[in-house]
Chain A
């Protein structure tokens, strides 16, 4: 559907107050969870129940019809028919070439049993990075050959001044992030690598507008447009749609269903997440989606509820309407800890076996700059092993259960680990011996648990 029709509906749709919309969503969704028998299994977070995955997809379509997509600037509901939603899914690309030249990578809409491995995105989504460490941290990702595409972190200061939402420095910050990310790619001989979700510091349309230039975001890169929680949009998001479509770069949505919020529990959040994918495909015209389960208490995706929610959505779309879905991999803990590596491995197994791609690791839930290339390397290595050893969902669930047991204590008392320059030599861009030794030891342990690393 073209953006003009979306805007027209945002002006003329039925009126509803936002609070009433929220409560209606809660009520409708509760009925759908019961009607379709959606049940979260916290012990088996990788879903291989096809009937339930299909039911989730059907429930999401029902929810879309019942609710519509609320524009909070107009308080009007943008409505889509079931046919319009399915048509949008059908016409969304099933295969894309992301990046340029020899560094370009294919991202495919995954299907169950299609014999394809995920596209691995490395980086530190949503993580505030200090100016002086931005380039070294991005170099630590560029140095990892198994990372297919890379997402930058967020610059929080420029020239020592804090970047404010909607302020002039949002322009400078979004541009500088891309300049330094590209420089990191060039230093490691991969200048054509796709930058995923360019403009991380852009909370408004300013940043997106600022980077629509080949010097910053190339048309072979992508930028991100969130769906507001739950099932809402606004003029800022729609302005970014307009900007991206006319530039045109690839676009990815972002949906953050809150487990325990207006959607209800993990089952309700899964329905809302799937509905958000349908709306974002139709209203934003995106080519890929970023799925980010938010646990109302712990935030992290590495909770059993978060991994289950992502998994059932991945399987539901792989079976019913394939499209590229990347899942965020936010962890409780930070770099330099064993727990981060366990969380990393669990997320990698769960996402690979759920027909998802990944949107990289957000260590410490993206709060502290305690991140590095090494945990991203582990993520990619686990994905590779899971794929090549043809790991089953049942085996994956066994290993994930064991891993959750190793980091469960982190939900209440997370170890945030250390900043990048205390785990890496920030000039040579290599892990310091202590971090390397910890990684080696945990990797050995993971091998003993049944992950057959090839590298």
Chain B
């Protein structure tokens, strides 16, 4: 990888004077293929995730790096579409994520939302203490592929079952993949309501992509 590309990747976990978006724009204008820049960003975001897991970097670093990646991708999108010869862009997975009713532990959900975004998924983060029906309303509005339910509280988990029940009541069973995760959630619980299980934010990205693509 050239020095320029390495710098673009590194800017996600080791902020430079210029943002990843600015560096990407300069590289693009200098004739570097957009796909090569995407590869560099992907390598950078992988390294960011590793450093977060190893506790060399922390949640705010992860959030800032994720945002920088998104901004850089926005710069690259027109070139990527042109490179694809005007063909329809690859399908992008969309997901609504939020904390179940009564739960206000948002840090885990923020980590998940960031990891999903850096994984190339469109995320609508609808916050804490979300009513079961609201998850479905938001998924309908967004045209989502999946609904992500998070909870640290055992006593908020029954509301996950309500989401599944309301999907059935509204004739929407099967339209959305339902994924549950968070400190209180077990695989057994996910299975019991017919949902997918994300044991960690990182694994949830793979689970959602696999289910929706």
Contact = CB atoms under 8 A, between A and B. Distances in A.
Contact of A164 (B58, B158, B184, B200): B158
A260 B58 contact: yes
Interface residues of A, number: 37
B107 A204 contact: no
A287 interface: no
Contacts of B102: 164-166, 203-204
Given A166-B101, A166-B102, A260 B183 contact: no
Given A165-B156, A203-B155, A260-B55, A234 B104 contact: yes
Nearest to A126: B154
A72 B156 CA distance: 20
By DSSP majority rule, is chain A's interface helix, strand, loop, or mixed?
loop
Most buried by A among B58, B101, B102, B155: B155
Interface string B132-157: 00000000000000000000011111
A177 interface: no
A23 B184 contact: no
Interface residues of B, number: 25
Interface in A284-329: 296-297, 299, 305
B52 A260 contact: yes
A162 B183 contact: no
Contacts of A305: 55
B13 interface: no
Given A23-B60, A260-B52, A365-B183, A156 B155 contact: yes
A22 interface: yes
A62 to B, nearest CB: 19
Nearest to B101: A165
A260 B59 contact: yes
Contacts of B52: 260
B58 A265 contact: yes
B59 to A, nearest CB: 5
Interface of A: 22-23, 26, 72, 128, 154, 156, 162-167, 170, 173, 201, 203-204, 228-229, 234, 258-265, 268, 296-297, 299, 305, 365, 367-368
Interface of B: 52-53, 55, 58-60, 101-105, 107, 111, 153-159, 161, 183-184, 186, 200
23 contacts: A23-B60, A128-B184, A154-B154, A162-B155, A162-B157, A164-B101, A164-B102, A164-B159, A165-B101, A165-B103, A173-B155, A203-B103, A229-B107, A259-B55, A260-B52, A260-B55, A261-B58, A262-B59, A264-B58, A265-B55, A299-B183, A365-B183, A368-B186
Closest 9 CB pairs between A and B? A165-B102, A162-B158, A26-B60, A165-B155, A128-B154, A261-B59, A164-B158, A165-B156, A166-B102
